[in-house]
Amino acid sequence: MQVNIHLFGSLRDYLPREQRGRTTVEVETASTIHDVLHSLGIEKPVLFAVNEAHDNDSTYQLQAGDTLTVFELTAGG
């Protein structure tokens, strides 16, 4: 199945520059958020949302067409 990925801040560097943090990837059915982050090489703690909903943990199984949004953890600035 396909899921949409939207990475922000320095996480955009996990994708080629021209993609500007956005891509669609093919993943196995029942893949979790953790699986997808791992496949992208993102191992550090991050903040994420699925379809702009924030009540999922990293074991949530993504559905075809979902958009996974991933933010860095930031403190001040």
Which residues bind to another protein, rule: CB under 8 A? Answer: 6, 8-10, 12, 17, 20-21, 44-45, 47, 49, 52, 54, 69, 71-77
Report the distance separating Cα 69 and Cα 53, nearest Å.
Answer: 10
> Tokens in use for 3?
């899921």
Q: CB-wise, 9 or 65, nearer to another protein?
A: 9
Closest CB 17 distance from another protein, rounded Å:
8
> Tokens in use for 70?
């991933």
Taking only Cα atoms into account, the Rg of the chain, rounded to an integer number of angstroms, comes to 12
Could you give the angle at the alpha carbon of 13 between the alpha carbons of 48 and 17, nearest 5°?
Answer: 120
Closest CB 13 distance from another protein, rounded Å:
8
Closest CB 4 distance from another protein, rounded Å:
12
